[in-house]
Amino acid sequence: MPSESVTRAREAIATLIAMGITDYVYCPGSRDAPLAYALAEAEKRSLVRVYPFADERSGAFFAVGLSRAGIVPAVITTSGTAAAELHPALEEAKDQELPLVAVTADRPFELIGVGASQTTTQHGLYGPTPVAEVSVPAGAAVKEAIIRLVRAAKRGPVHLNIAFADPLIPQGDEIWPEVRVPLFDEGETTFPRWNDVVDGNLDTVVVAGDGADSEVVSHARIAGIPIVAEPTAPGNGGHAPVVLQLLIDRVQQVIVTGKPTLSRGVQSLLAQVPRKVVVSSLRIWPDPAGHAQAVVPGLRGTAPSARAQWSAVWETIASEAEVAAAALDGDMTLLGVARQIWRSQPEVPLWLGASNAVRAFDIAGWGERNNVHSNRGLAGIDGTISTAIGFGAARQQPIRAVMGDLTFAYDMNALGARPLPEQDIQVIVLDDGGGSIFASLEHGKPQFTELYERYFAVKQSVDPVGVALACGWGAQRVETHNDLQDILEAPVRGRNLVHVPVPRESSLITDLSHRTQIALRKSSENCRTIVP
């Protein structure tokens, strides 16, 4: 007689496949074993790609990487704490509105709350995080629930909790179900024209954050509108935070696209600018101040030309900022190294860790670069290596991931995982002996120096090279610009780690901004009118 649980697991996987889900992170356990057998059958039929992970937290972040690369993944765990491990990645997926299906196997519901082993309340486990959630009791049909759930996943993570009763292994006579799903018509959206919502008489900047609309950025560029783009947005690669610091009071209108999170200057601008247009198709559009005049899903037509004087002022300061930044070349500092990495092998996708790593690129990178990514949803320092591995796996491309030392230590487990037998990934650890970002905030003041080390820096006793070697990665410590350059010019092959010690920075932007002002004063008398 066929196993009822294995039959339902097959129905579940066949329905997920029919809904277009072909990539599965599978984390082992006893309760989710029926799903393992179902996946193995689907794999035999070449219907799915399966990435086995022992560590569910890492596996879930790997899935976020897949999703960021355009694949809708499912992550399968067993019951108990295993299910809880998905929560951080689901939070990140929620904020980026990335589709992801969390499938947790559960005990039959009558075993909840009666002291049964590895049994907890899994329905509602992630609180309000999933955009949809369904729990299916043991023995109940799963198809309809899954169809509705996967459709809801367009807007973020969803949670499917399925209870399985014993026996959990195949009895040998289960069939592979034929599952048909409805065709869904997605309809069309029409966008307003630029001139309908953007005032062409105002001095405007486009702020492009993570997930920005490349059409908006390219139209703005043609019209000469200055662009303040974060490293993960199109139009990146200037020293916009530095320029903005000097011109912030002159901006009369902002067009926001994507979710900007990196610089305090941009946040101040967004809070104070008189006129703001948000271009976003996200369910939760970025406007914390809540005073946007318009929120639109896109713009059509051409952008109104910027005033020539406004573009010229911006350009002048931007080129002086570049002169100031060029003085960093050769430095083994966070900014110097970020600049060096940014300009090496632009064809290799970059994955940037949160904290100062991504900010250093925001300030020091020069020259536009595509294919730069980061978990900017909740800007966690967890799961960075796992997400980068997932993104690289989805793109089937070598990838370079750059992060701070705490960020590395947080996700070291990922170095031991082998979701793919072979992968080309380079992890660069910018090691400044703990968490440094707080030193550039109020906590960096001299009166807190002693407290800082113990409460904020929390330096880990971890040797990244030793860890990497122990996990079968290649690894080296690099201390000179030239040695780093040799590594950055070589193709990324296999798994390897580069450990780069850098001094702790107290403020990334102030120094560059100061240098830019000096350069401006020297370069032209006219600039006195620009920088008072």
Token readout for 358 is 């991504």
DSSP strands (E only) in 358-487: 372-374, 399-404, 425-431, 474-477
Which residues, in sequence order, are bridge partners of residue 228? Answer: 207
Binding partner of 381, given Mg ion, ligand TPP, none, CB within 5-8 angstroms per partner class: ligand TPP
Candidate segments 115-123, 362-370, 375-383, 416-424, binder of ligand TPP by CB under 6 A: 375-383
432 binds Mg ion (CB under 5 A): yes
Residues 6+ apart with CB under 8 A from 467: 412, 415, 497
Confirm if 26 and 35 have CB atoms less than 8 A apart. yes
Token readout for 40 is 């193995």
Q: How far is the CB of 83 from ligand TPP (least distance, A)?
A: 19
Site for ligand TPP in 397-436 (CB under 6 A): 403-407, 432, 434-436
Confirm if 474 and 495 have CB atoms less than 8 A apart. yes
464 binds ligand TPP (CB under 6 A): no
**Between residues 156 and 435, which has the closer beta carbon with respect to ligand TPP?**
435
Q: How far is the CB of 405 from Mg ion (least distance, A)?
A: 4
Q: How far is the CB of 333 from Mg ion (least distance, A)?
A: 13
Confirm if 21 and 74 have CB atoms less than 8 A apart. yes
Distance CA 364, CA 342 (A): 9
411 binds Mg ion (CB under 5 A): no
DSSP strands (E only) in 27-80: 49-52, 73-77
Site for ligand TPP in 47-76 (CB under 6 A): none
**DSSP-assigned states of every residue in 159-181:** EEEEE-PSP-S--S-PPPPP---
Q: How far is the CB of 50 from ligand TPP (least distance, A)?
A: 28
Distance CA 341, CA 531 (A): 31
* 223: number of Cβ within 10 Å: 18
Q: How far is the CB of 387 from ligand TPP (least distance, A)?
A: 13
336 binds ligand TPP (CB under 6 A): no
Q: How far is the CB of 126 from ligand TPP (least distance, A)?
A: 16
Can you tell me which of 99, 226, 237, 404 binds Mg ion, judged by CB under 5 A?
A: 404
Can you tell me which of 93, 299, 381, 415 binds ligand TPP, judged by CB under 6 A?
A: 381
Tell me how many residues contact Mg ion (CB under 5 A): 4
**Between residues 56 and 362, which has the closer beta carbon with respect to Mg ion?**
362
Token readout for 402 is 């750059």
405 binds Mg ion (CB under 5 A): yes
Tell me how many residues contact ligand TPP (CB under 6 A): 18
CA 160 to chain CA centroid, Å, is 23
210 binds ligand TPP (CB under 6 A): no
Q: How far is the CB of 443 from ligand TPP (least distance, A)?
A: 11
Residue 205: strand, helix, or coil: strand
Can you tell me which of 131, 313, 338, 354 binds ligand TPP, judged by CB under 6 A?
A: 354
**Residue whose structure tokens are 């952008």:** 303
Binding residues vs ligand TPP (CB under 6 A): 354-357, 379-382, 403-407, 432, 434-437
